[in-house]
């Protein structure tokens, strides 16, 4: 029975029991963190063998004979470009290997557009207004970059199969101040869902009024499945191919990294795009640096051999993450289903579950959880300017705690969600 | 006897002999590169043991217990901050550890000032004109950054003990559009000379009209001596201390890296400044990245233990570089001294020798060397916009070739310098 069908008295009785439970948890002195998409220590252990790849006797030459220990090679050694190109399903000529973080590549791409413009268009700093489309809920650090550059962000609702394409098509075709869109097309942060083929095709076929409109295609979870069975693995169309087919070859910047493959912060990141975009980026990047860490590039390729090796490695991560996602989802299914007060996604991959509570309750739930000893991502964080218009979305990051801790964490979340819902319902009873 | 005291006939005779020599070299099919300040392979071998520091059994925890394998720690692990602070003679609270390149930190610092301004001042992109002081000859990649941002560069002559401070004091006190100065205070690129205490004190005591004027103090060669004897090691005053004493605490950004200590491109870089500057940089940097490569930071500290360890390591580099510098200088002294057609510096450290030929001859000498099989840094490169007003300066980078190759290289340089000088003199005879 849905809570909203309960009588006032029954709700009050239920609330009393929930508060007893909540206070008991509070007194237990529990301390949990489900705030960030950090791999667990057991996942980091999976890549420790990578540290045996090099020793003082190693040959540090790249496949083209270049000594990776010395200066040079702006866009990455050939074998690293090949490996990342295969992961992003494009050609090495489309790829630049960057430093340790794809976020940095995204920031730099926007910073360059702001200071120097894209392909001869006016630098964004010289424009009165620059706008950006933000499918929501989304990744807080994406929105942080656009906010930092004073770019006006427009919320685009996410559906089951990707962002609302009607709205996007309408907006970009009319407004030349809209210069880009953030997309996490596969195992979205935080919904964990993926774009349908139709959405990718429509995205690639956009006819933006702005010539310098760019899709920021953050393929952060390209190979981050939770299941080994192919039917449980999401696949998405290749945006670079689709843009090319649609005559929009230069319209997309794709990003990926090995942050959640080997060691976050000590991996390699890549940007992929048309050859014309790659040439422009390289020309400008050559002012910023002589080159990124080629020894770390070589270390990664020596360890994995190729993209197949990376994918095999990802199955080990899946084995660690799967029980964590399942622990949370099992609890939610068992204890929250049927009350009509929350919905949640059931992803096949990625690092997050998106959890929607009753409107106007998300902040309250997050605060109550915090008081009970569990840190969640701040309510509103997955929205531009940190404002969730409905105050209903909570991002769950189950990767770091153990499955046992996640059962406790889920209990807290469930109790708080119920309390907030009942108190909301009682306001109008 | 000086060439300009020779008779026309004697010069012609000399020239004939030189051309015979030059053509012989050309036919020998020699191939040499003295264009960039790259460490030689034997120098890279010195750090190979660093690759034994970590293996699959290693503990990757920083001194504060943080797991370096995971996300986090924007400004660097404590022990890396300490080590780089000791190299830069400041406190860890003044230091941010960056990625693999100090050049990137410099670019980013200017880019941030351009997009967001410094300490509440107008972002440079909103100003009609931004100017910059450039001691010359200097580092081409510095000038490349300021040129990229459309910043007007003003040449400042370098003297034996640093840039012309009278000129700098005059300019910065009057012109609020002058926002910065490039400095390589120790073992300058390319002169190899160092700033005197008086120059550092005057630099620190500048009274710029622009509140957001910043000294970009690229201490790239802080510990890059050529000699072990202390009396042959240049020392410079600490700019951060001197600025503080002069009431200009926020006026300087200092940079350093391990690029020429361990592996260029795979080292760690750092920026040091006042706590107020560090706070502003960190706040903005937090939008750009979650953090840099902490595993590489830890690798460096585990290898060296501390700054003393780094300095000991540098003595090994000195032993490799010293004979190379000496090979070139010995040749120049033996074969060019007394002709009145060239001067050159005799550095105690760094990576370069600055070589001045007769006015109007540098391009010709570089071109002739190239035709004979030896690549030098392009004439003009050490000047803003690539223009050497006197066309007389040539940067010699003796680090990469072997001492034997450097003897050949010096021979070519000497012959070409003589030919260019005589042809110049003959124009007016």
Structural Rg of chain A based on CA atoms: 23
pLDDT at A429: 82
CB contact under 8 A, A99 and B293: yes
By Cβ distance, the residue of A55, A71, A287 closest to B107 is A287
CA distance A297 to chain B (A): 10
Domain spanning A3-43+312-428, CATH architecture: Alpha-Beta Complex (3.90)
pLDDT at A279: 98
Q: How do the pLDDT tens digits run along chain A, 429 residues long?
A: 899 999 999 999 999 999 999 999 999 999 999 998 999 999 999 999 999 999 999 999 999 999 999 999 999 999 999 999 999 999 999 999 999 999 999 999 999 999 999 999 999 999 999 999 999 999 999 999 999 999 999 999 999 999 999 999 999 999 999 999 999 999 999 999 999 999 999 999 999 999 999 999 999 999 999 999 999 999 999 999 999 999 999 999 999 999 999 999 999 999 999 999 999 999 999 999 999 999 999 999 999 999 999 999 999 999 999 999 999 999 999 999 999 999 999 999 999 999 999 999 999 999 999 999 999 999 999 999 999 999 999 999 999 999 999 999 999 999 999 999 999 999 988
* Cα–Cα distance, B40 to B42 (Å, whole number): 5
CA distance B67 to chain A (A): 9
CB of B38 less than 8 A from some CB of A: yes
CB of A117 less than 8 A from some CB of B: no
CB of A58 less than 8 A from some CB of B: yes
What's the pLDDT tens digit per position in B3-35?
999 999 999 999 999 999 999 999 999 999 999
Kind of pairing, strands B353-357 and B393-396?
Answer: antiparallel
Per-position DSSP letters for A75-136, written without gaps between them: T--HHHHHHHHHHTTS-GGGEEE-SS-HHHHHHHHHHHHHHH-STTSPPGGGSS--EEEEEE
> Which residues is A269 bridged to in the sheet?
A257
pLDDT at B249: 98
Cβ-based neighbours of B213, under 8 Å, separated by 6 or more? B172, B178, B179, B180, B206, B251
- pLDDT class of B36 with cuts at 50, 70, 90: confident
By Cβ distance, the residue of A41, A115, A266 closest to B125 is A115
Sign of torsion over alpha carbons B281, A214, B71, B57: negative
What's the pLDDT tens digit per position in B285-326?
999 999 999 999 999 999 999 999 999 999 999 999 999 999
Does residue B224 carry a pLDDT above 90? yes
Q: Which residues of B are less than 8 Å from A320 in CB distance?
A: none
Domain pair A3-43+312-428 / A55-306, same fold:
no
CATH entry 3.40.50.620 includes domain B3-43+315-428:
no
* Cα–Cα distance, A379 to A392 (Å, whole number): 8
CB of B294 less than 8 A from some CB of A: yes
pLDDT at B242: 98
CA distance B48 to chain A (A): 5
pLDDT at A36: 87
Interface of B with A in 190-219 (CB under 8 A): none
Which of A335, A339, A372 has the alpha carbon at shortest distance from A11? A339
Angle at B304 between CA B85 and CA B77, to 5 degrees: 50
Q: Domain A55-306 belongs to what topology?
A: 3.40.640
pLDDT at B429: 83
CA distance B352 to chain A (A): 16
Angle at A297 between CA A292 and CA A302, to 5 degrees: 165
CB of A107 less than 8 A from some CB of B: yes
What's the pLDDT tens digit per position in B242-275?
999 999 999 999 999 999 999 999 999 999 999 9
- Mean pLDDT, chain B, integer: 97
* Cα–Cα distance, A45 to A47 (Å, whole number): 5
A200: left (phi over 0), alpha (psi -120 to 50) or beta: alpha
* Cα–Cα distance, A420 to A416 (Å, whole number): 6
CB contact under 8 A, B52 and A56: yes
Cβ-based neighbours of A42, under 8 Å, separated by 6 or more? A320
CB of A139 less than 8 A from some CB of B: no
Asked if residues B135 and B329 have their Cβ atoms less than 8 Å apart, the reply is no
Q: What was the ipTM of the complex prediction?
A: 0.97
Q: Which tokens in the block code for residue B239? A: 């700019």
Closest chain B CA to residue A293: B266
A–B interface: beta-carbon pairs under 8 A:
170
CB of B323 less than 8 A from some CB of A: no
CA distance A178 to chain B (A): 19
By Cβ distance, the residue of A52, A107, A266 closest to B288 is A107
Q: How many helices (H) and strands (E) does chain B have?
A: 13, 13
Residue A49: helix, strand or coil by DSSP? Answer: helix
B247: left (phi over 0), alpha (psi -120 to 50) or beta: left
Q: Among B39, B69, B295, which would you mutate to test the A interface (most chain A Cβ atoms within 10 Å of its Cβ)?
A: B69
Q: Which tokens in the block code for residue B426? A: 């003959």
* Cα–Cα distance, B261 to B253 (Å, whole number): 21
* Cα–Cα distance, A362 to A420 (Å, whole number): 8
By Cβ distance, the residue of A36, A44, A111 closest to B111 is A111
CB contact under 8 A, A293 and B266: yes
Cβ-based neighbours of A356, under 8 Å, separated by 6 or more? A342, A343, A344, A392, A393, A394
Q: Domain B58-311 belongs to what topology?
A: 3.40.640
Q: Backbone phi, then psi, for B56, in 5-degree steps?
A: -65, -15
pLDDT at B427: 94
Domain boundaries, chain A: 3-43+312-428, 55-306
Closest chain A CA to residue B285: A104
Angle at B391 between CA B389 and CA B397, to 5 degrees: 115
CB of B288 less than 8 A from some CB of A: yes
pLDDT at B204: 98
Cβ-based neighbours of B421, under 8 Å, separated by 6 or more? B3, B339, B341, B342, B357, B358, B361
CB of B269 less than 8 A from some CB of A: no
Q: Among A293, A299, A351, which would you mutate to test the B interface (most chain B Cβ atoms within 10 Å of its Cβ)?
A: A293
Report the percent of chain B where pLDDT is more than 90. 98
CB contact under 8 A, B288 and A56: no
Q: Among B40, B115, B124, B149, which would you mutate to test the A interface (most chain A Cβ atoms within 10 Å of its Cβ)?
A: B115
By Cβ distance, the residue of B41, B111, B287 closest to A148 is B287
> Which residues is A354 bridged to in the sheet?
A395
CB contact under 8 A, B72 and A107: no
Residue A229: helix, strand or coil by DSSP? Answer: coil
What's the pLDDT tens digit per position in B336-395?
999 999 999 999 999 999 999 999 999 999 999 999 999 999 999 999 999 999 999 999
Residue B357: helix, strand or coil by DSSP? Answer: strand
pLDDT at B1: 85
CB of B403 less than 8 A from some CB of A: no
CB contact under 8 A, A287 and B114: no
Asked if residues B233 and B348 have their Cβ atoms less than 8 Å apart, the reply is yes
Q: Which residues of B are less than 8 Å from A104 in CB distance?
A: 288-289
Max Cα–Cα distance, chain B, nearest Å: 78
């Amino acid at each position: 029975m849905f809570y909203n069908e309960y009588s006032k008295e029954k709700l009050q009785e239920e609330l009393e029991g929930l508060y007893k439970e909540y206070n008991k948890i509070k007194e237990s002195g529990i301390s949990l963190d489900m705030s960030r998409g950090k791999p667990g220590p057991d996942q980091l252990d999976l890549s420790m063998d990578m540290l045996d790849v090099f020793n003082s006797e190693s040959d540090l030459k790249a496949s083209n004979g270049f000594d990776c220990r010395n200066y040079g090679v702006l866009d990455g050694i050939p074998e690293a470009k090949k490996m990342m190109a295969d992961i992003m399903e494009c050609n090495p000529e489309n790829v630049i290997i960057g430093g340790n973080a794809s976020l940095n590549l995204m920031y730099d791409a926007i910073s360059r557009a702001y200071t120097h413009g894209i392909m001869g268009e006016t630098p964004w700093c010289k424009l009165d207004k620059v706008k950006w489309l933000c499918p929501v809920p989304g990744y807080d650090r994406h929105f942080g970059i656009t906010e930092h550059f004073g770019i006006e962000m427009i919320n685009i609702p996410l559906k089951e199969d990707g962002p609302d394409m009607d709205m996007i098509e309408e907006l970009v075709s009319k407004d030349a101040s809209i210069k880009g869109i953030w997309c996490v097309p596969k195992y979205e942060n935080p919904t964990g869902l993926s774009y349908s083929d139709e959405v990718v095709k429509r995205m690639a076929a956009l006819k933006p009024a702005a010539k310098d409109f760019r899709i920021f295609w953050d393929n952060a979870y390209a190979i981050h499945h939770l299941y080994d069975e192919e039917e449980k693995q999401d696949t998405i169309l290749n945006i670079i191919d689709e843009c090319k087919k649609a005559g929009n070859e230069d319209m997309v910047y794709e990003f990926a990294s090995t942050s959640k493959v080997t060691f976050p912060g000590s991996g390699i990141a890549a940007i992929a795009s048309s050859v014309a975009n790659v040439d422009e980026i390289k020309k400008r990047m050559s002012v910023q640096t002589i080159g990124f860490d080629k020894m770390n590039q070589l270390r990664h390729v020596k360890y994995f051999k190729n993209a197949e090796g990376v994918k095999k490695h990802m199955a080990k991560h899946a084995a660690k993450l799967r029980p964590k996602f399942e622990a949370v989802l099992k609890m939610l299914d068992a204890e929250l289903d049927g009350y009509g007060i929350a919905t949640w996604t059931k992803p096949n991959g990625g690092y997050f579950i998106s959890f929607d509570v009753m409107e106007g309750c998300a902040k309250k739930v997050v605060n109550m959880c915090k008081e009970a000893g569990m840190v969640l991502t701040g309510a509103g964080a997955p929205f531009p300017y940190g404002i969730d218009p409905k105050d209903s979305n909570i991002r769950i990051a189950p990767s770091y705690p153990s499955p046992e801790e996640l059962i406790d964490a889920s209990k807290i979340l469930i109790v708080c969600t119920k309390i907030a819902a009942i108190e909301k319902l009682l306001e109008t009873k």
